[in-house]
Amino acid sequence: GDSVTQMEGPVTLSEEAFLTINCTYTATGYPSLFWYVQYPGEGLQLLLKATKADDKGSNKGFEATYRKETTSFHLEKGSVQVSDSAVYFCCTGTASKLTFGTGTRLQVTL
Amino acid sequence: GAVVSQHPSWVICKSGTSVKIECRSLDFQATTMFWYRQFPKQSLMLMATSNEGSKATYEQGVEKDKFLINHASLTLSTLTVTSAHPEDSSFYICSARERTGDTGELFFGEGSRLTVL
């Protein structure tokens, strides 16, 4: 079956630092890839997605590129803010069935 | 964006009792809802897919008699953990899809933490 591996957290960064959260996947066919974010006390929210190879998803300054050759979908942001502190989940699949990574907690400090 | 709400957000119960968790779509009609279970430091595992007015489809390894799912209306799905035991302690999360077909975005509830003593 499908699987997603993402870097273990927590990741602690100072404000304005560069962020990378690695994510690799295994899947059959041509799945879509997603990043979800869960802020404290809230449900998961779709952050960005990419539906085919070489697509770049972006939102709120975050970006991730669907790399089929390396089966990766790394999340990046050039300058993080305290408000970005949350748990980030990498996912593969369709809207019917998502396979999640274990989540990476990001803590941004002043 | 659309809002999905779960209730209760946390519950503690004695072993052998049953617990019901509600998942509501507050501002849209959800033809399909999904129930997940999350263990500490592990990923969300899909338990079942719930379609309004029909029986839920359970993932392999999930006991349908243990985890009863009802989706009686377009805005409400319930998960009942029957005869709960400590190993059922977990974080349960629901999500809902607004449109039919496979293209609607998923909206997630805040999750419900169950502790069975």
Whether residues B108 and A100 touch (CB distance < 8 A) is answered with: no
End-to-end Cα spacing for chain A: 41
Nearest to B111 among A43, A99, A103 (CB): A43
Is the pLDDT reported for residue B24 higher than 70?
yes
In B, minimum Cα distance to A105 occurs at B41
Put the strands of the sheet holding A56-59 in their side by side order: A19-21, A75-77, A62-65, A56-59
The more confidently predicted of residues A96 and B35 is: B35
Higher-scoring residue by pLDDT: A76, B72: A76
Which pLDDT does position A88 carry in this prediction? Answer: 96
In this complex, the residue of B43, B49, B97 whose CB is nearest that of residue A102 is B43
* Average confidence score pLDDT of chain B: 89
* A99:B102 CB<8 A: no
* pLDDT confidence of residue B51: 85
> With left for phi above 0 and alpha for psi between -120 and 50, is residue A93 left, alpha or beta?
left
Query: With contact defined as beta carbons under 8 Å apart, do A49 and A32 qualify?
Result: yes
Q: Which residues of chain B are within 8 Å of residue A36 when distances are taken between CB atoms?
A: 108
**Nearest C-alpha neighbor of A50 from the set A92, A85, A16, A19:** A92
For residue B114, the distance in angstroms to the closest alpha carbon of chain A comes to 16
Query: What are the angstrom distances between the C-alpha of B101 and each of A96, B24, B25, B105?
Result: 9, 20, 17, 10
3-state secondary structure of B86: helix
Whether residue A102 lies within 8 A of chain B, CB to CB, comes out as yes
State the smallest CA–CA distance between residue B61 and chain A in angstroms: 14
pLDDT mean over A87-95: 87
pLDDT at B101 over 60: no
Contact A43 B108 (CB under 8 A): yes
Locus of tokens 């560069």: A18
> How high is the pLDDT of residue B106?
83
Return all residues near B60 (Cβ < 8 A) that are at least 6 apart: none
Q: CB A98 to CB B106 under 8 A?
A: yes
Bond prior to A10 in cis (omega within 30° of 0): yes
Residue type, A69: E
pLDDT digits (tens, 9 = 90+) for A24-57: 999 888 889 999 999 988 888 999 999 999 999 9
Q: How does pLDDT run across A14-28, given as a tens digit for each residue?
A: 999 999 999 999 988
Residues 6 or more apart whose CB falls under 8 angstroms from that of B2 comprise: B25, B26, B27, B28, B96, B98, B105, B107
Task: Give the pLDDT mean for B56-80.
Answer: 93
| DSSP-derived secondary structure letter, B90 | E
pLDDT of A1: 79
Q: Which residue has the higher pLDDT, A26 or B100?
A: A26
- Residue B94: per-residue pLDDT: 95
Contact residues, chain A, for B46 at CB < 8 Å: 97-98
State how far the Cα of B72 lies from the Cα of B74, in Å rounded to an integer: 7
Closest CA to B16 of B82, B90, B80, B95: B82
Higher pLDDT, A76 or B39: A76
Give yes or no for B46 touching A (CB within 8 A): yes
CB contact under 8 A, B44 and A97: no
